[in-house]
Structure 1
Amino acid sequence: MDISPLSPTAQTARSAAAKPATQNHSAKKAGQEFEALMVGQMLESMFAGVETGSAFSGGQGERTWRSFMLQEYGKAIAEAGTLGIGRMVEADVARLYGQTSEGAKG
């Protein structure tokens, strides 16, 4: 039996194959965003005691923009994936999403 590209069976199979890829991408994005947020918050705590008024420091400008810099550091660390926090969150999100999808089918 030959399935043409326009048949409903082929369209259903194509959309079913696209869902896991979308779910995996969403889970990966959620994991990476969570890791970036968490690392940014940890860096905020680490930099809380660092003075900004010394001779070679950024002064008021650094105080104003430091949180943005630390958020970007968090994003860069999360993109590198060296901590593994994002991968753990990604696996949990994918597992939980899979459970809810299976529950909705049955």
Structure 2
Amino acid sequence: MRMTADIAMPPSALHSVPTADKSGDRASRMRAVAQEYESVFLSSMLKQMMPEIDAKSPFHGGSAEETWRGMLVDQYGKSITKAGGIGIADAVYRELMKVQEGARS
């Protein structure tokens, strides 16, 4: 099984964080962007695991399972991130703050 993590923060992510008069508002928006990034990363990693799991009776196989499984994995990623995640959001948040501080100078 090959696991890849070809997830990069799109350049538009920094531009999508609106500038605000209050640095607290900007910081909370950057935290949300960082958490979304971690959620997408975790979902991607979990999706790599799902093909190895066989579905059991009575609900197995078919296109509906593929559709719902994708949605379930996305929710798993969001739930893990909301529960504290694995530290990716914190690292991304720190980097976003560094970039913003450099942009202000």
Q: TM-score, normalised by structure 1?
A: 0.71
Q: Aligned to 1:27, which of 27, 30, 37?
A: 30
Structure with the bigger percentage of helix: 1
Contact 2:39 2:81 in 1 (8 A): yes
- Return the offset for 1:57: 4.1
Structure 2: give runs of 5+ residues left out of the alignment.
1-19
Q: Secondary structure at the match of 1:55?
A: coil
Give 2:77's match in structure 1, choosing from 74, 79, 84.
Answer: 74
Mapped contact 2:30–2:96 kept (Cα < 8 A): yes
TM-score, structure 2 as length reference? 0.71
Shift, 1:100, TM fit: 0.4
User: What amino acid is the match of 1:47?
Assistant: M
Contact 2:38/2:85, CA 8 A, preserved across alignment: no
1:56-101 deviation line (CA, Å, top 9, x unaligned): 4443332221111100100011111231110110111011111102
1:14 is matched with which residue?
none
CA RMSD of aligned residues (A): 1.8
Count of aligned positions: 85
Map of 1:9 onto structure 2: none
Structure-1 residue corresponding to 2:61? 59
Q: Helix, strand or coil for the counterpart of 2:52?
A: coil
Name the CA distance, whole Å, in 2 between partners of 1:91 and 1:25.
12
C-alpha displacement at 1:55, in angstroms?
1.9
Q: Unaligned regions of 5+ residues in structure 1, if any? A: 1-16
Which letter does structure 1 place at the counterpart of 2:85?
T
How far apart, in 2, do the equivalents of 1:71 and 1:26 lie? 21
Name the residue aligned to 1:40.
Answer: 43
Q: Is the 8 A contact 1:27 1:93 kept in 2?
A: yes
